[in-house]
C-alpha cells in the first residue's frame, strides 16, 4: 500500500496558471506547502506558492530541485514535456503518470487509446503526412481538422467540407499531424470529472452540461439537464477509461451526446478542468482538493452536490477599457466570484469565473446569464 503524504509536506506542480493557482490554494488550506515550476515570473500560482521556480519545464536543475524538495508532483496542463514527467516519475511519486499525459497531449494517440478501450469516439482519420490526404475522406466530411498537439480552447481547428478544403487546411496548419473528425449532429455536450487515488479508491463528480462559444467553455450547468440514464452511462464510461489508463489523479472526460442519445468521448484532460470549477462552491469537496488527495495517496473526498449551480467563464473580452461592473455581481449573495490574478486582460484569455447557486439548475442558469450580461455594461 502506498504511504499517505500528509500535511506540511511540500507538493510540486508543473504550471503556474489559474489551475495551478487554485491547486495551490486548496493545498495550502489543507496544510501542505507548494512549489510551482513555471517560466512566467508573474504566473498566477507563483505569487501564492511557498516556492516559485522560475524556469523552463525541461530545465534539469529545476526538475532536480523538485526531486530534492517535494514529496510528490502533479501538473496543471497536458502540454508539459512528457520527458520532464518521465524524469520526475523515475525518482518520486508523480500523478498523473507520464504515460497518461503523453496520451492526452496527442489527439491521435488519445482517440486510438479511447477506441481501443472499447469506448465510442467520433469517426476520425489520422493525417500525419501528405500521403494520408489521398485516403477516402467521404465518410468524414463535412468535418473538423484538428491539430494533433498543442491545440486547446478551439485553437488549431478548421472546419472543412471537401477533401480539397481539408488539404488546404492541413497546409495552413503547417503540414503538422492532425485528425479529421466528422461533424456530428449534437444534442448537448457534457463532462465527467473522475478522481482516482488507486484502483479501489475512485469516484466521480456530478455530470456537468457545457455550453461553448468560439470553442471556449462559456457556461457549465450542474446537474446536467439530461436523463439520469445518460448521466450514469457517462459516469461509467469515464470510470472505465480511467481504469484502462490506470490513471492516478483528477481527469476530465468530455462527451458528445448525439440526437439519438448516443454518447461519444470527445477528449480527455489529465487535470482539473474548467467545467469542474463549480465544485469549489457547490460540492462538499472541490476538484482541486481531489487533486491534492490523489497525489498524496489519500482517498477521494465526498463529491456530494450541495446545490444546483451554473458556472460562467470570465474572458478578457469583458474588460474593455475598464474593470467589469463587479458591484452588480457581488451584490448577489448567491454568486461567488473567482479571479485568477492575471495582470493583463486579453480577448479570449480566461481571467476568472463565477458560480451562481440556486434552488434548481434552470434558475441558476437564468441568473448567471443575466449577471454575465450585466458585467459587460
Q: Which residue has the higher pLDDT, 222 or 156?
A: 222
CA distance 277 to 14: 19
* N residues, the chain: 377
Q: Find out whether the peptide bond into 374 is cis, omega within 30 degrees of 0.
A: no
pLDDT value, residue 131: 86
Residue 173 has pLDDT above 70, yes or no: yes
User: Which pLDDT score is estimated for 234?
Assistant: 98
Looking at residue 322, its pLDDT comes to 83
The domain locations on the chain are 10-94, 123-182, 186-375
Reported as a single tens digit per residue, the pLDDT across 236-262 is 999 999 999 999 999 999 999 999 999
Exposure class string for 136-156: b at 16+ Cβ within 10 A, else e: ebeebbebbbbbbeebebeeb
Mean pLDDT of 206-225: 96
Instruction: Identify the band that residue 152 occupies on the pLDDT scale cut at 50, 70 and 90.
Output: low
Tracing cell 443575466 back to the chain, one arrives at 370
Q: How confident is the model at residue 154 (pLDDT cuts 50, 70, 90)?
A: low
> Residue 179 and residue 128: Cα distance in Å, rounded?
8
Q: Identify the CATH number of the domain defined by range 186-375.
A: 3.30.470.20
The CATH number of 10-94 is 3.40.50.20
Residues whose CB falls within 8 Å of the CB of residue 85, separated by 6 or more in sequence, listed in order:
14, 75, 94, 97, 98, 101, 102
Domain 123-182 and domain 186-375, same fold? Reply is no
Quote the CA–CA distance of 143 and 231 in Å, as a whole number. 27
Is 123-182 assigned to CATH 3.30.1490.20?
yes
This prediction's pTM: 0.96
pLDDT tens-place string over residues 37-83:
999 999 999 999 999 999 999 999 999 999 999 999 999 999 899 89
Average pLDDT, the chain: 95
Q: What is the pLDDT of residues 298-350, one digit of tens each?
A: 999 999 999 999 999 999 999 987 889 999 999 999 999 999 999 999 999 99
Amino acid at each position: 500500500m502506498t504511504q499517505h503524504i500528509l500535511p506540511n509536506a511540500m507538493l510540486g506542480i508543473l504550471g503556474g496558471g489559474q489551475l495551478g493557482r487554485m491547486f495551490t490554494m486548496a493545498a495550502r488550506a489543507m496544510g501542505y506547502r507548494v512549489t510551482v515550476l513555471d517560466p512566467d515570473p508573474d504566473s498566477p500560482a507563483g505569487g501564492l506558492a511557498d516556492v516559485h521556480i522560475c524556469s523552463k519545464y525541461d530545465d534539469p536543475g529545476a526538475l532536480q530541485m523538485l526531486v530534492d524538495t517535494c514529496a510528490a508532483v502533479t501538473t496543471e496542463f497536458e502540454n508539459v514535456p512528457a520527458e520532464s514527467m518521465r524524469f520526475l516519475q523515475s525518482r518520486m511519486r508523480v500523478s498523473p503518470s507520464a504515460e497518461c499525459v503523453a496520451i492526452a497531449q496527442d489527439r491521435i494517440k488519445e482517440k486510438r487509446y479511447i477506441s481501443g478501450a472499447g469506448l465510442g469516439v467520433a469517426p476520425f482519420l489520422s493525417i500525419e503526412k501528405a500521403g494520408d490526404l489521398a485516403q477516402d475522406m467521404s465518410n468524414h466530411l463535412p468535418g473538423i481538422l484538428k491539430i494533433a498537439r498543442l491545440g486547446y480552447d478551439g485553437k488549431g481547428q478548421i472546419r472543412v467540407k471537401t477533401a480539397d478544403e481539408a488539404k488546404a487546411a492541413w497546409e495552413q496548419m503547417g503540414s503538422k499531424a492532425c485528425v479529421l473528425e466528422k461533424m456530428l449532429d449534437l444534442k448537448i455536450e457534457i463532462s465527467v470529472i473522475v478522481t482516482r487515488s488507486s484502483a479501489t479508491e475512485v469516484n466521480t463528480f456530478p455530470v456537468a452540461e457545457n455550453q461553448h462559444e468560439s470553442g471556449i467553455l462559456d457556461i457549465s450547468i450542474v446537474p446536467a439537464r439530461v436523463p439520469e440514464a445518460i448521466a450514469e452511462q457517462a459516469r461509467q464510461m469515464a470510470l472505465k477509461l480511467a481504469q484502462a489508463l490506470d490513471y492516478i489523479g483528477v481527469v476530465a472526460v468530455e462527451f458528445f451526446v448525439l440526437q439519438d442519445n448516443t454518447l461519444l468521448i470527445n477528449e480527455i484532460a489529465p487535470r482539473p478542468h474548467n467545467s469542474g470549477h463549480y465544485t469549489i462552491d457547490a460540492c462538499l469537496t472541490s476538484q482541486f482538493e481531489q487533486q491534492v488527495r490523489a497525489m498524496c495517496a489519500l482517498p477521494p473526498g465526498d463529491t456530494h452536490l450541495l446545490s444546483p449551480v451554473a458556472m460562467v467563464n470570465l474572458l478578457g473580452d469583458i474588460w474593455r477599457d475598464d474593470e467589469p461592473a463587479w458591484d452588480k455581481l457581488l451584490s448577489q449573495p448567491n454568486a461567488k466570484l473567482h479571479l485568477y490574478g492575471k495582470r493583463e486582460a486579453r480577448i479570449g484569455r480566461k481571467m476568472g469565473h463565477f458560480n451562481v447557486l440556486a434552488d434548481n439548475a434552470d434558475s441558476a442558469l437564468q441568473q448567471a446569464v443575466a449577471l454575465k450580461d450585466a458585467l459587460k455594461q
